Amino acid sequence: MDTYELRRPRVEDAQEIFELAAACTVESIGFADVTLDDIADELVEPGFDRERDGWLAWRDGTLVAWAWACRKGDSDNVDIEVLVRPGTPDDLAPRLWELVLGRAREIAAELGHDSVTTDIGIYRPDTAQRELAARHGFAPATSFHRMRIDFTGPVEAPELPAGLTLHRGESEEVLREAHRVQQEAFAEHFGFVKTSFEEWFARRDASASTDWSQALLARIDGEPAALVIGTDQFAEDEDCGYVLTLAVRPAYRGRGLGRFLLRTAFAEDHARGRKGTLLHVDSNNTTPALGLYTSAGMRPVLVIDVWRLSLKVRT
């Protein structure tokens, strides 16, 4: 490690981190699956401490690696990432993996946990990253499929069901009800962490892709029942809308609300002039979401596997 300079990330490093991340994704999947806004969002993510949770590695004036650990609320679950520029000598990546795993342990200890569950997302074609994860004790835990629909003609909004009203996320009342729906709907899903409204709102509001007018809360007879949140995450690179969240409270499932809101999102993205709509779905989802998306005309275009490792905080 003597040939590398390690230092903490700064907001102004976003451009160079973006160029590094783009090079890494081109190497693993053939295209740059990242934007400058994505990196800028990572650097200001609530819960991410730039002075303690991340590292940049430089060699001969070139940024060659970006690694971080990020807490998820007050839970014992910590997300990690290690990106190393293609062609960099093999001695760097193992050291960075040890740094982020050590920091994950520290985060869990600071929050009062005896163990930590660490997750890393890996593109399925990225054999090198899978091998490094396995070498450090990680194992596949679940898979997220990126789904896409392309608009080839007019997309009409579905007819509003009787008793249902839609409300945009432009008031605190609607957003608080949206948070309630999201928390109840995802309580049994992989990686779910219970968060307060303030934490949930702060994380979403900090993202450059957030447009609260694309959040739609469905009420049935005045009671919050379901939610769809669209963002601009893929507007720049794919010219597509993105469904960040599609959630139906358990008591309201089986009524077609998910399909209704999905078709509504398609119609709104089409009206914005987008080429299509993207979303991610957990293949082990406790609800039959994958079938819903395929039956609505979406197709899988990419798979990201989540690898997981549980560690004692103190060994």
CATH assignment of the domain containing 206? 3.40.630.30
Domain final position from 137, 162, 182? 137
- Tell me which residue of 91, 96, 180, 171 sits closest to 133, measured CA to CA: 96
Q: Do 131 and 249 fall into the same domain?
A: no
Residue 165 lies in a domain: yes
Q: Do 153 and 112 fall into the same domain?
A: no
Q: How far apart are CA 163 and CA 81, in angstroms?
A: 45
Count: domains in the chain: 2
- Here the tokens at position 239 are 């010219």
Q: Do 101 and 171 fall into the same domain?
A: no
Q: Is residue 38 a contact partner of residue 45, using CB atoms and an 8 Å limit?
A: no
Q: pTM to 2 decimals?
A: 0.93
Q: Do 294 and 156 fall into the same domain?
A: yes
Residue 13 lies in a domain: yes
Q: How far apart are CA 129 and CA 121, in angstroms?
A: 10
Q: How far apart are CA 97 and CA 114, in angstroms?
A: 21
Q: Do 131 and 206 fall into the same domain?
A: no
Alpha carbon distances (Å) from 34 to 24, 42, 78, 155, 210: 10, 11, 21, 28, 16
Q: Do 95 and 189 fall into the same domain?
A: no
Residue 308 lies in a domain: no
Parallel/antiparallel/unpaired status of strands 115-123 and 77-84? parallel
* Domain region containing 51: 5-137
Residue 107 lies in a domain: yes
- Name the percent of the chain in helix, strand, coil, to the closest 5: 35, 35, 35
> Which residue shows structure tokens 């490093």?
13
Residue 310 lies in a domain: no
Q: Do 231 and 289 fall into the same domain?
A: yes
Q: How far apart are CA 23 and CA 31, in angstroms?
A: 9
DSSP string for residues in 68-127: EEEE-TTSSEEEEEEEE-TT--TTHHHHHHHHHHHHHHHHHHHTT-SEEEEEEEEETT-H
Q: Do 299 and 167 fall into the same domain?
A: yes
Domain final position from 84, 108, 137? 137
Q: Do 107 and 161 fall into the same domain?
A: no
- Helices of type H across 147-240: 172-185, 197-205, 235-238
Residue 219 lies in a domain: yes
Q: Is residue 307 a contact partner of residue 139, using CB atoms and an 8 Å limit?
A: yes
> Along the 315 residues of the chain, how does pLDDT read in single tens digits?
458 999 999 999 999 999 999 999 999 999 999 999 999 999 999 989 999 999 999 999 999 999 999 999 999 999 999 999 999 998 999 999 999 999 999 999 999 999 999 999 999 999 999 999 999 999 999 999 999 999 999 999 999 999 999 999 999 999 999 999 999 999 989 989 999 999 999 999 999 999 999 999 999 999 999 999 999 999 999 999 999 999 999 999 999 999 999 999 999 999 999 999 999 999 887 667 888 999 999 999 999 999 999 999 975
